Amino acid sequence: MPDSPNFDIKRVAILFAGGPAPAANAVISTAAFSFLEEGAQVFGIKHGYSRLAEYTAAGPLQEGTDYIRFTHDTLTNARCSRGIMIGTARTNPGKHVSAPEHLKDPELVAPLRRVYEGLCSLEVDALISIGGDDTLKTANKIKMFQDNLPEGARRFPVIHLPKTIDNDYSGIDFTFGFFTAVETLAEEIRNLNYDAAAGRAYFLCEAMGRSAGWLAYGAAIAGEASMVLSVEDITGSLAEEEVVNAETGATRKVMAMDRVIDKMVDMMLAREREGRQYGTIVVAEGMAEFLPSKYLEGVSRDDHGHINIASIHLSSMMSGMLAQRYTDRTGKTRKVNGLQMGYEARCAPPHAYDVMLGSQLGVGAYRALVEEKLNGVMVSVSGQFNLHYVPFEELVDPKTLVTKVRFIETKSDFHRLARFLETCVDS
């Protein structure tokens, strides 16, 4: 067998991992269709890496249970459908590999080897990975694992397609599903605006977005929220340093909780001066990562090392603090309702833009493998749906194997748009 990956693509595996996103089936079906049209067999690996990571122990992969074979019939009307036709999971076979040297350790790479062997059992000539930044990290590790195989070992190229409703991906302007998710949450916010006006109350909405504020900002702008705050805003007077190790003096940036809450109260009072005793506030769930340590005691972490944000109930916590601070400052009461938003957006009916974007990414996987004969690249789209192929090395730190998050630039016009449209608060 050749030492370089095989680009005579006759059998392709498509795998989706991580949280759902609208237009997932547009990506999957167009990638599958592109290869079926060329006479290749296309396997849809079911539920991410969950079964592959257990390959040798659990025995051979079973068609129908562990994977499906795509046909033109299975792809009929799939492009605009909801959900994920091959399912998903958050299993992370590369969780023990956090440096290039770990790829030399048989114990640390054992889950990656099982994934590799499982795919080899299907005799695939390529892997198309669809997922968020954690899935990109895994795709990179599978590619690097193969780079370290002995001479003559089977190798297949790995292509990654970026997915996240959070839109915090480096290497692409917008990810598929983002605009559908924004519109879904914006519609909720618009409904809440009327509810808040009727009862002279406030809603504090926690939007998904672990690392950056794209979804929170988009939903706030489109939903006409009164204020939006995200991780990018935890700076200056809204941030402070907390000592995490007394011996070394190590610190971490945390929210200055009193000042964050006071900023919200300032907005409420500004609206009252305009005769409006109601409103909605949107915060990104990722702000929970900046909570002082006393709020994070006992919070669990997942396979990727992330804290369990959903268990913190940031919106409930902050809404209680906000109501109390408003009373302290005014002597009056104002009902503040906290609620979490996001899950309802992940499988919403995809908008046309996301279907088109997702379709181009799916076709891009075909073009990367067959026309460009690439390996270890992420497919990207810009301008008039022009395709680009970004090497993994430009997206993943070569020492830590961690991906680079794309934050909202606080001086960008997108950030300024939200500030311009929300209730003005005198600094």
Do residue 157 and residue 187 come from a single domain? no
Residue carrying structure tokens 């489109």: 222
Do residue 245 and residue 263 come from a single domain? yes
In a domain, 426, yes or no: no
Residues written for the chain: 427
Do residue 22 and residue 169 come from a single domain? yes
In a domain, 375, yes or no: yes
Do residue 356 and residue 337 come from a single domain? no
In a domain, 4, yes or no: no
* β-strand pairing of 11-16 with 126-131: parallel
Residue carrying structure tokens 């340093």: 241
**Quick check: helix, strand or coil at residue 402?**
coil
Residue carrying structure tokens 């080899």: 120
Q: How many domains does the chain have?
A: 2
Report yes or no on whether pTM surpasses 0.95: no
In a domain, 383, yes or no: yes
Which residues is 68 bridged to in the sheet? 44
Straight-line distance from the first to the last Cα atom of the chain, in angstroms, rounded to the nearest whole number: 67
In a domain, 403, yes or no: no
pLDDT digits (tens, 9 = 90+) for 141-172: 999 999 999 988 999 999 999 999 999 999 99
Residue 158: closest CA among 173, 187, 174, 136? 136
Domain that holds residue 285: 181-346+409-421
Give me the residues of the chain with pLDDT under 70, please: 1-3, 6, 301-306, 426-427
* Residue positions annotated with a catalytic role: 166
Tokens of 105: 């350790």
> At 416, which amino acid appears?
R
**Quick check: helix, strand or coil at residue 288?**
helix
In a domain, 42, yes or no: yes
Do residue 136 and residue 70 come from a single domain? yes
Q: Can you give the pLDDT at residue 304?
A: 56
**Which CATH number is 334's domain given?**
3.40.50.460
Instruction: Specify burial of residue 155 (Cβ count, 10 A radius: 0-12, 13-18, 19+).
Output: buried
Do residue 204 and residue 169 come from a single domain? no
Contacting residues for 309 by C-beta, under 8 A, at least 6 apart:
210, 285, 286, 288, 289
**Which CATH number is 163's domain given?**
3.40.50.450
Do residue 149 and residue 21 come from a single domain? yes
| H, E, C per residue of 256-273 | CHHHHHHHHHHHHHHHHH
Q: What backbone phi and psi angles, to 5 degrees, belong to 344?
A: -65, -15
Q: Can you give the pLDDT at residue 200?
A: 96
Do residue 165 and residue 217 come from a single domain? no
Do 52 and 30 form a contact (C-beta atoms < 8 A)?
Answer: no
Query: Crossing angle of helices 133-147/110-121, nearest 10°?
Result: 80
Do 95 and 35 form a contact (C-beta atoms < 8 A)?
Answer: no
How far apart (Å, rounded) are the C-alpha atoms in residues 140 and 394? 11
In a domain, 6, yes or no: no
Strand ordering across the sheet containing 377-382: 67-69, 41-45, 11-16, 126-131, 158-162, 377-382, 386-391
* β-strand pairing of 202-207 with 336-341: parallel
Tokens of 393: 């090395």
How far apart (Å, rounded) are the C-alpha atoms in residues 310 and 425? 30
Do residue 46 and residue 124 come from a single domain? yes
Over the Cα atoms of the chain, what is R_g?
Answer: 23
Which residues is 43 bridged to in the sheet? 13, 69
Instruction: Specify burial of residue 3 (Cβ count, 10 A radius: 0-12, 13-18, 19+).
Output: exposed
How far apart (Å, rounded) are the C-alpha atoms in residues 403 and 393? 10
Do residue 338 and residue 387 come from a single domain? no
Do 322 and 226 form a contact (C-beta atoms < 8 A)?
Answer: no
In a domain, 43, yes or no: yes
Do 263 and 320 form a contact (C-beta atoms < 8 A)?
Answer: no
Do residue 113 and residue 216 come from a single domain? no
Do residue 311 and residue 250 come from a single domain? yes
Q: Can you give the pLDDT at residue 303?
A: 59
How far apart (Å, rounded) are the C-alpha atoms in residues 138 and 131? 10
How far apart (Å, rounded) are the C-alpha atoms in residues 371 and 18? 28
pLDDT digits (tens, 9 = 90+) for 238-291: 999 988 787 888 888 999 999 999 999 999 999 999 999 999 999 999 998 898
- Does the CA dihedral 150-155-161-164 come out positive or negative? negative
**Quick check: helix, strand or coil at residue 395?**
coil
Residue carrying structure tokens 């992420």: 378
Which residues is 378 bridged to in the sheet? 160, 390
